[in-house]
A and B are shown apart, each in its own frame.
Chain A
Amino acid sequence: MKPLRPTLRRSLHMTIVCAAVFLFMGAGDDARFNSIGHRMMCVCSCSQVLLECNHVGCTYSDKMRNQLLAALDKGDNDDLILQGFVQDYGPTVIAAPTATGFNRVAWIMPFVALAFGITFVIYVVRSWKNKPTPALAGGIVIPTGGELDTLRERARKETDQ
């Protein structure tokens, strides 16, 4: 294989680096704060996501946000941070069921229902499609295939008018 010219190679490297910077920029602590803060609920009984609790004087949300910032500064990973919050405020602080133990069922069931539903509908549609056409009295023959398509196209044209 013919090696790339140095200028072209440098340009290619530059493009890849720029693209990488462009794609992954902003994934710092701000983004993590935002992401983790949206995975927890405020425990002041407002039923709102932590970063969306807007009660002035809420005794929990400011404290929890500061706690989250401190954990991020300490360099804890996401799981450790969430675990710390669960220890302090109980399991209901996590805004969605975790993917562990029985909680997995919460995530799996909707997709099981979807898969079951799709399979059922496909089965039903196929069985209806494969049903034989009932014979008509008086020797009337129902047109099929190309003949039926031609008639249908003609009907469509006529009804469009």
Chain B
Amino acid sequence: MSLIGSFALLLALALAAYSFLAGLFALFQRDAMGARIAETARRAGIAAFVAVLLAAVVLVTSAFHDDFSIAYIQQHSNRDLPAAYKFAVLWSGQEGSLLFWSLLLSGYGFVLRLRYKTDQRLFAYASVVIAAVQVFFLLILNVAAKPFSLVQGMVPPDGNGLYPLLQYPEMVIHPPMLYLGYVGFTVPFAFALGALIMKYPGEKWINITRRWTMVTWCFLTIGVFLGAHWAYAVLGWGGYWGWDPVENASLMPWLTGTAFLHSVMMQEKRGMLKVWNMLLIFATFLLSMLGTFLTRSGVISSVHAFAQSSIGSWFLVFIALTVAVCAYFLAANISHLKSEHKLESLVSRESSFLFNNLLLLVVCFTILWGTFFPILSEWVQGHKVTVGPPFFNRVAVPVALLLLLLTAVGPLLAWRKTSVESLKRNFLFPLIGSIAIGGMMIVFGVRPWQDPSFFYATMAGVLSALVIFTIVSEFVRGGRVIAGKSGQSLPAAMIHLCHRNTRRYGGYIVHFGVALVVIGILGTPFNKEVEKEMGFGDKVSLGPYTFVCQSYTMEDNPNYGNEWAIINVFRGGKQVTTMYPERRFYKSSQQPQTIPRIYPSFREDFLLVTDVYLVYEGRNEETGRPIIKAHLNPMVPWIWTGLIIMVFGTIIALVPNAVPVRVTATVPVQEPAHVGAGD
């Protein structure tokens, strides 16, 4: 099996290299022969996908067949690993995840090369850029991180097993989503670089890549949030975002990608920001690579330590080369990107996009700066410092709040110029509503003057409400106009409105999701927790809840042994649920793992929903009594609800606009008048 896999990877490298070199040659050979060579390059790119797919299939099959002669399978799988996790072995280690990255990249390349007829010349350039990136990854797979290396000496009877933290259903989805996002940005990057090199006229490359970028952005969003949810549901510390360098690495391309999605609208509508958009998509691609570099190199200490090795230097060289190539072509062809920048008013959609881009980039810079500051500190001061959550919360949160303000204000500003009357008309109701929300928060006990975190929570509440109210008022205003004209009900008219301009209203829905996510985050300062040793019948109270330990039970399966606590949860004297926090001990890796249980109180609280979060932490070594930790995390479920809405909004934005219906009206033809001779 390993021979087939190794051969497939070698073949894939040869095909990708041919696709790159022949494609490059054909770009300069503009005759019939050049066209023929270009076609062979395109087909080689397609064949490279088949070869990489074969290698991936071989690796997964080896995991299912418990082929521990392959070192990677021996290190990341074991005989009793459930089938879903055997599939996840593909991306659970260094070599496998690079193979998976290669597979996705080849898959994107495959689709791109099949759709080449849209614009053969531009697609040929993009295909060459993608082939170059493919060559890089396949070189690593064939030289530095071989997934099919064989075990030295005797083949062990069983494997080490999958890292326990990864044995969770979300881990089967989170990495593919994140990788689809990271890798996907290669496509708009390839088109942008191709368009720059060939001095492609007009904005067509943006139209071609718009859907790619949105889909990629959506995957990255899902990946980032699934990662946060995994941290919340598995790590057992009651939080979902720890500002770990690898978490930061996933957020940075998301931020620049979001900026790009906004600023391309300026290029499409007004032909502005051509250089800026190039820079943004270059930065997004490079930050995706940087994320991989951070995960692989171990240059910065992170909890994501399960995939570290020395291949970081490969990525560093690749990033440096990419920067050099991008900088060269940008400098050489910048005159091609000149555009007529003319603004009529400071209060316009254009200005809001500029400030939106600025704030997104400042947040991105802050995260990049904070992530790399420990290295800088070591160079300058001779010792590392920690840049942890207090830094990011204090520095990035205020800028993020400004961004939220712009999310509320920006969409209601008109292109070119917004009149004062229009501002008043659009903002009066949302402003009053959001101020009322702020007042209610103070009435219900949030004291913004007591603590900076309470101040930020209040501001986040007010601004999220402003975002939601402005979106609702936009939908209602547009819906009313359509309802007035067509006689439809208001909800039907709003759906019709959405269908008429899916991109605009899909975008509003995404903003609504973002506001919900912020509402979910603002509950953090009000988290509560308690930890107690609990025997049978012991009680512990936290907020309005009382937890009563009913029993403990143990189970055993071939993969792990586990112990469950059975905790009855009461509120106001009434039992609301029973929870089963669990602690596992994985046999092959000899590692313990907590599995917290979470109960969102939608039934009891609805809008002010709280997560009841129980962790069975283990037994006190001295007394032997089990330790239970309970958290109350207000509003957290809104974060995951917000994600669903963001994804829904993106899907809406991807749907083509409704084409105006052509109705053939029958006009009665009048009898031609008979003209008599005497008339």
**A160: shortest Cβ distance to chain B, in Å?**
5
- Chain B residues with CB under 8 A of A129: 343-346
**B503: shortest Cβ distance to chain A, in Å?**
16
- Near A by CB (< 8 A), chain B positions 326-351 give 340-346, 351
Indicate if the CB atoms of B345 and A106 lie closer than 8 Å: no
Indicate if the CB atoms of A56 and B627 lie closer than 8 Å: yes
**B505: shortest Cβ distance to chain A, in Å?**
14
**A14: shortest Cβ distance to chain B, in Å?**
20
Indicate if the CB atoms of A54 and B594 lie closer than 8 Å: yes
Indicate if the CB atoms of B365 and A125 lie closer than 8 Å: no
B355 at the interface (CB under 8 A from A): yes
The A/B interface has a contact count, at CB < 8 Å, of 143
**A42: shortest Cβ distance to chain B, in Å?**
10
B447 at the interface (CB under 8 A from A): yes
A56-B617, A110-B369 known; A91-B385 Cβ under 8 A: yes
Q: How far is the CA of A135 from the CA of B567 in the complex (A)?
A: 78
A11 at the interface (CB under 8 A from B): no
Indicate if the CB atoms of B399 and A52 lie closer than 8 Å: no
Indicate if the CB atoms of A124 and B386 lie closer than 8 Å: no
- Near B by CB (< 8 A), chain A positions 99-123 give 101-103, 106-107, 109-111, 113-114, 117-118, 120-121
**B90: shortest Cβ distance to chain A, in Å?**
26
**A78: shortest Cβ distance to chain B, in Å?**
13
- Report the interface size class on chain B: 35 or more
B394 at the interface (CB under 8 A from A): yes
- Near B by CB (< 8 A), chain A positions 65-107 give 90-98, 101-103, 106-107
Indicate if the CB atoms of B450 and A91 lie closer than 8 Å: no
- Which of A39, A41, A95, A114 is packed against the most chain B CB atoms within 10 Å? A114
- Chain B residues with CB under 8 A of A92: 384-386
A6 at the interface (CB under 8 A from B): no
Indicate if the CB atoms of B388 and A54 lie closer than 8 Å: no
B275-317 toward A: CB 8 Å interface, digit per residue (1/0)?
A: 0000000000000000000000000011100000000000000
- Chain B residues with CB under 8 A of A13: none
- B346 (CB) vs chain A CBs: closest residue: A125
- Chain A residues with CB under 8 A of B381: 101-103
Indicate if the CB atoms of A41 and B342 lie closer than 8 Å: no
- B616 (CB) vs chain A CBs: closest residue: A56
Neighbour of A41 across the interface among B373, B388, B478, CB < 8 A = B388
**B463: shortest Cβ distance to chain A, in Å?**
17
B570 at the interface (CB under 8 A from A): no
- Near A by CB (< 8 A), chain B positions 553-584 give none
Indicate if the CB atoms of B237 and A48 lie closer than 8 Å: yes
B662 at the interface (CB under 8 A from A): no
Q: How far is the CA of A160 from the CA of B484 in the complex (A)?
A: 11
- Chain B residues with CB under 8 A of A53: 237
Indicate if the CB atoms of A121 and B358 lie closer than 8 Å: yes
Indicate if the CB atoms of A117 and B358 lie closer than 8 Å: yes
**A64: shortest Cβ distance to chain B, in Å?**
14
- Report the interface size class on chain A: 35 or more
Q: How far is the CA of A47 from the CA of B300 in the complex (A)?
A: 11
- A131 (CB) vs chain B CBs: closest residue: B342
- Chain A residues with CB under 8 A of B615: 54
- Chain A residues with CB under 8 A of B302: 47
- Chain A residues with CB under 8 A of B387: 96-97, 106
B380 at the interface (CB under 8 A from A): yes
A102-B377, A110-B365 known; A47-B237 Cβ under 8 A: no
A47-B303, A56-B618, A109-B369 known; A131-B341 Cβ under 8 A: yes
B370-391 toward A: CB 8 Å interface, digit per residue (1/0)?
A: 1001000100110111111111
A45 at the interface (CB under 8 A from B): yes
Neighbour of A57 across the interface among B361, B449, B618, CB < 8 A = B618
Neighbour of B388 across the interface among A49, A128, A156, CB < 8 A = A49
Neighbour of A110 across the interface among B395, B594, B618, CB < 8 A = B395
A41-B388, A96-B391, A121-B355 known; A54-B627 Cβ under 8 A: no
B113 at the interface (CB under 8 A from A): no
- Chain B residues with CB under 8 A of A9: none
- Chain A residues with CB under 8 A of B384: 91-92
A149 at the interface (CB under 8 A from B): yes
Indicate if the CB atoms of A117 and B594 lie closer than 8 Å: no
A161 at the interface (CB under 8 A from B): yes
- Which of A47, A101, A107, A149 is packed against the most chain B CB atoms within 10 Å? A47
- Chain B residues with CB under 8 A of A39: 390
Indicate if the CB atoms of A114 and B343 lie closer than 8 Å: no
List 25 interface pairs A-B (beta carbons < 8 Å), by A numbering: A23-B450, A38-B390, A39-B390, A45-B301, A47-B244, A54-B235, A56-B618, A91-B386, A92-B385, A93-B386, A102-B377, A102-B380, A102-B381, A106-B373, A110-B362, A111-B395, A121-B358, A125-B343, A125-B346, A125-B354, A128-B343, A129-B346, A152-B417, A160-B478, A161-B485
Going nearest first, the 9 A-B pairs with the smallest beta carbon separation are A56-B618, A95-B388, A96-B391, A96-B390, A128-B343, A110-B366, A117-B358, A129-B343, A128-B341
Given A96-B391, A129-B344, 7 extra CB contacts under 8 A: A54-B235, A95-B390, A113-B365, A114-B399, A131-B343, A149-B417, A153-B419
Tell me the B residues contacting A by CB distance below 8 Å.
235-239, 242, 244, 301-303, 340-346, 351, 354-355, 358, 361-362, 365-366, 369-370, 373, 377, 380-381, 383-391, 394-396, 399, 414, 416-417, 419, 447, 449-450, 478, 481, 485, 592, 594, 615, 617-619, 621, 627, 629
